[in-house]
Amino acid sequence: MTETGARLRWAYESLLSEFGPQGWWPGRGPFEIMVGAVLTQNAAWRNAERAIECVREAGALTPAAVATLPLGRLEQLVRSAGAWRRKARTLAALARTIEAQEGGLQGLLSTDPALLRRTLLAIRGIGPETADAILLYAGGHPVFVVDAYTRRFLERHRIARARAPYDAVQSLFMDALGHDADAFAECHALLVELGKRFCRPEPICCECPLRKDLPKR
């Protein structure tokens, strides 16, 4: 294992010991996880969760219901997640993609991961992070999700530069953690927790469980 791989493995194991298992992704099934992955884009999870609950209360938390729901109504239901017009269009397109797939939701999620990723990325409003969250948390495919918390940690520990390509950052973790879907899900969740508690925009480095790995100033 490379030095970078060893550092990432140590960080993962240290955070797991410090925070414990996170049990991600919150959701009552694959489609709800997919909806959450879209709604949480540039939004606090609590706001995305509120929008999911509104869709559920409307009896529309299925691909068939979302695909046929009037767009204006869907926009109203997801308003709390912000950017509701764009997100409603993305959800509608995602639901139509599922409905058009042979075998429906399970048929789509059981597609070859590379093909599934291309299918998701072809939907306007779904980028690499959202596509990979769907692959990992809804489909169980061993793909690491790179988000802003991940990049902040890597930059501050001088493991990767701020604007490193998404795929390059993703490969660092996939190599370090052995292409293990469970480890990827846990590590991603742990880095989010690290970002919320310590690795904030104004960091609390002196209390961080990874402080001994920080470069000397």
Average pLDDT of every residue of the chain: 96
pTM score: 0.95
**195 closest CA partner among 150, 158, 164:** 150
Dump pLDDT digits (tens) for 181-204: 999 999 999 999 999 999 999 999
Q: Output the pLDDT for position 141.
A: 97
- Contacts with 193 (C-beta within 8 Å, 6 or more apart), sequence order: 15, 19, 22
User: Counting beta carbons within 10 angstroms of the beta carbon of residue 36, is it exposed (0 to 12), middle (13 to 18) or buried (19 or more)?
Assistant: buried
Paired tokens of 124: 């306007």
pLDDT at residue 217 is higher than 80: no
3-23+144-213 adopts what CATH topology? Endonuclease Iii, domain 2 (1.10.1670)
Is the domain spanning 30-138 CATH 3.30.930.10? The answer is no
Its sign, for the CA torsion 201, 46, 136, 134, is negative
| Domain-wise residue ranges, the chain | 3-23+144-213, 30-138
Which amino acid appears at position 78 of this protein? Answer: V
Calculate what percentage of the chain has a pLDDT beyond 70.
Answer: 100
Which amino acid appears at position 102 of this protein? Answer: E
Q: Output the pLDDT for position 26.
A: 80
